[in-house]
Amino acid sequence: KNINVRNIPNLERAKEIKEGNKIDYKSNLPEEPAHPQPVEVRHKHHKDSDIPGDRGHGVIPPPRDPDGLGEMGKPVRLANLTQIQQALVKDGWDKNAFNQYVSDLISLHRSLPDVRDKECRDNTYLDDLPQTSVIVCFHNEAWSVLLRTVHSILNRSPPHLLKEVILVDDFSDIPHLSRQLEDYITQYPKVRVVRARRREGLIRCRLLGASVATAPVLTYLDSHCECTEGWLEPLLDRIARNFTTVVCPVIDVISDDTFEYNFRDSSSLNVGGFDWNLQFNWHGIPDSEKKRRKHPWEPVWSPTMAGGLFAIEKNFFEKLGTYDSGFDIWGGENLELSFKTWMCHGTLEIVPCSHVGHIFRKRSPYKWRSGVNVLKRNSVRLAEVWLDDYAKYYYQRIGYDLGDFGDVSSRKELRKQLKCRNFDWYLKNVYPELFIPGEAVASGEVRNLGEGSIICLDSPARRDDLHKPVGLYPCHGQGGNQFWMLSKEGEIRRDEACLDFAGQDVILYPCHGSKGNQFWNYDPNNHSIQHGSSRKCLEMARNKQQVLMRDCTGSYLQQWKFQNYNPS
Ligand code: UD2
Ligand code: MN
């Protein structure tokens, strides 16, 4: 077997690999809290060879109409709906946060375009790729969306590489997902349903799936995905070459409204990052990565993963301590696995030859636990265990209110046993692009100094809509939209977004690092904030809502104070 030794941290490990690649990772692991026992649904057993259709995985699908709605990933736009239909459309949106009515009109076996770069079709992969168990967790997923996920896996995975599809039901309470689902999948011997006995949340659900999986590689997908041709082989190939590589497909966008399949070509690929709210985000491939790779279709190193779609060698996942099972419902687990992978001697990659579509929703349609801020609790656990001293930047964002985050001692122990590198190493080597708040010259709110003024610089803009002008709002002392950082380079930043003035409004714009419209000079003596290229000064409008850019006058309307100012 062709093993790439680039990532092997020490001799001992290299020796273990030589001796047959069989490492008993489990024996050095701390005890995990017990996972609830799954209830498994069994079905009649067929031999694989008995079953035609769906690429040898089950019954022959009904003939597909090549001009049918949504075929080839085309958008479905409905017009002239009756009132009843309109009510159904609304109901579908309410229940799922996507247009279920449209999904129900599209074949469960619909065709998709082959979106890969041409080179990907010609690539050859290792002959002896490992098999995989595909694990799909769902909670109250729409029938057509869930089953289209399943059929896209069956249809577009080479039969010899797909060991099984494990559907893990996270205690859904809509009827079609019980008996009807069991009856339906008896036609497909590779598909198994496992049910959680109480609401576990997606993280423990994924662990439940892993605990019953039988293939050496685990592949996780969300329950509203569609796999495209050739998605699986390039993922397994990377793991076969180096079992410490964790791989993600390119995540294409299935429209939540029309179900159009929109793909990203490898020239506009993004990698994953995060900000100090510990929120995942996407950004362009850094120059160092562009240089390291010879072709756009080659795997690209990514500091983090989005979380839902990835493949990992099962033993390596276990070695890394899987997920922190103290994480509830949703969130944080993607960063945990990303940090661990890099810090504990693995590699995280996005594989441009592998494309899987996902329905991105604008809100979460299901119930969360009431009375607890689940995401914050998960993030605090993450910060406590993996961020070392850098945890303070996250704590600053949540007002140092850590809340009850439970016991993390076994996770800290795990990190110690694995001899993982520290977070400082990770930031310097894996994610040097990230702005470190401690390097800011000034931070906090930016308050106007006019007499009796309690007005602060404020921007509600989010990463995906940065174009709203930056404005003013009564100071609230909560950070958030009023939290700013002045960098040594003269940027006024909110994480990766920078205050930018191009002659019109003052807006937030992705930081580009080349000064120009993003260069500001703060003078702590006369309290002016002067813009570099235009030489104008930031001014409070008399309505105390907008900011203006005017010739510098020294007027109190142009006087500002950063909450913390510590030049070094
Ligand atoms: C993203 C990830 C998702 C997960 C999450 C952070 C992608 C494309 N998606 O959010 O996989 O990493 O970030 O935690 O990378 N589910 C359950 N039980 C629950 C809640 C959810 O089984 O209590 C299932 C749900 O049906 C879905 C999956 O978990 O299949 C992910 O949930 P989501 O689709 O709401 O998350 P998403 O895509 O917004
Ligand atoms: Mn999802």
User: Do 444 and 530 share a domain, yes or no?
Assistant: yes
The Cα–Cα gap between 90 and 566 comes to 54
Ligand showing the shortest atom-to-Cα distance for residue 335: 1
What is this model's ipTM?
0.97
User: Do 214 and 235 share a domain, yes or no?
Assistant: yes
User: Do 165 and 17 share a domain, yes or no?
Assistant: yes
User: Do 400 and 490 share a domain, yes or no?
Assistant: no
463 CB neighbour count, 10 Å cutoff? 16
> Where in the sequence is the domain holding 42, given as residue range(s)?
5-62+105-269+304-359
Closest ligand 1 atom to 280 CA: 13
Residue 422 tokens read as 């520290």
User: Do 448 and 411 share a domain, yes or no?
Assistant: no
Ligand showing the shortest atom-to-Cα distance for residue 196: 1
Amino acid, res. 241: R
Closest ligand 1 atom to 333 CA: 14
Position 29 scores a pLDDT of 30
Of 500, 516, 520, nearest in space to 508 by CA: 500
78 assigned to some structural domain: no
Position 57 scores a pLDDT of 65
98, 137, 328, 366, best to mutate for ligand 1 pocket (most atoms within 8 Å of CB): 137
| CATH number of 110's domain | 3.90.550.10
| CATH number of 466's domain | 2.80.10.50
User: Do 470 and 421 share a domain, yes or no?
Assistant: no
Q: Are 459 and 494 in contact (CB under 8 A)?
A: yes
| CATH number of 410's domain | 1.10.8.460
166, 200, 330, best to mutate for ligand 1 pocket (most atoms within 8 Å of CB): 330
Position 65 scores a pLDDT of 80
Ligand showing the shortest atom-to-Cα distance for residue 306: 1
Position 169 scores a pLDDT of 97
71 assigned to some structural domain: no
Q: Which residue reads 């900011």 in tokens?
A: 547
From atom 7 of ligand 1, which residue's Cα is the shortest distance away? 308
Amino acid, res. 511: C
174 assigned to some structural domain: yes
Structural domain count of the chain: 3
User: Do 255 and 311 share a domain, yes or no?
Assistant: yes
500 assigned to some structural domain: yes
User: Do 347 and 391 share a domain, yes or no?
Assistant: no
Ligand showing the shortest atom-to-Cα distance for residue 172: 1
From atom 21 of ligand 1, which residue's Cα is the shortest distance away? 202
User: Do 122 and 217 share a domain, yes or no?
Assistant: yes
314 assigned to some structural domain: yes
Position 28 scores a pLDDT of 33
From atom 29 of ligand 1, which residue's Cα is the shortest distance away? 202
Closest ligand 1 atom to 306 CA: 15
User: Do 146 and 17 share a domain, yes or no?
Assistant: yes
Closest ligand 1 atom to 360 CA: 38
User: Do 210 and 343 share a domain, yes or no?
Assistant: yes
Residue 293 tokens read as 């790779």
User: Do 148 and 265 share a domain, yes or no?
Assistant: yes
Q: Which of 313, 329, 359 is the last residue of a domain?
A: 359
Position 54 scores a pLDDT of 59
Closest ligand 1 atom to 331 CA: 14
90 CB neighbour count, 10 Å cutoff? 12
279 assigned to some structural domain: no
Give the residues surrounding ligand 1 with Cβ less than 6 Å away.
Answer: 137-139, 141, 170, 201-202, 205, 222-223, 251, 306-309, 329-331, 333-334, 358, 364, 366
From atom 24 of ligand 1, which residue's Cα is the shortest distance away? 138
Position 478 scores a pLDDT of 78
83 assigned to some structural domain: no
529 assigned to some structural domain: yes
Closest ligand 1 atom to 334 CA: 12
pLDDT in tens, the chain (568 residues): 333 333 333 333 333 333 333 333 333 333 333 344 445 544 443 444 333 445 666 666 666 788 899 999 999 999 999 999 999 999 999 999 999 999 999 999 999 999 999 999 987 899 999 999 999 999 999 999 999 999 999 999 999 999 999 999 999 999 888 889 999 999 999 999 999 999 999 999 999 999 999 999 999 999 999 999 999 999 999 999 999 999 999 999 999 999 999 998 888 899 999 999 999 999 899 999 999 999 999 999 999 999 999 999 999 999 999 999 899 888 899 999 999 999 999 999 999 999 999 999 999 998 888 778 889 999 999 999 999 999 999 998 888 899 999 999 999 999 999 999 999 999 999 999 999 999 999 999 999 998 777 999 999 877 666 778 999 999 988 788 899 999 999 999 988 899 999 999 999 998 888 899 999 999 999 999 999 989 999 999 999 999 999 999 999 999 999 999 988 7
From atom 27 of ligand 1, which residue's Cα is the shortest distance away? 222
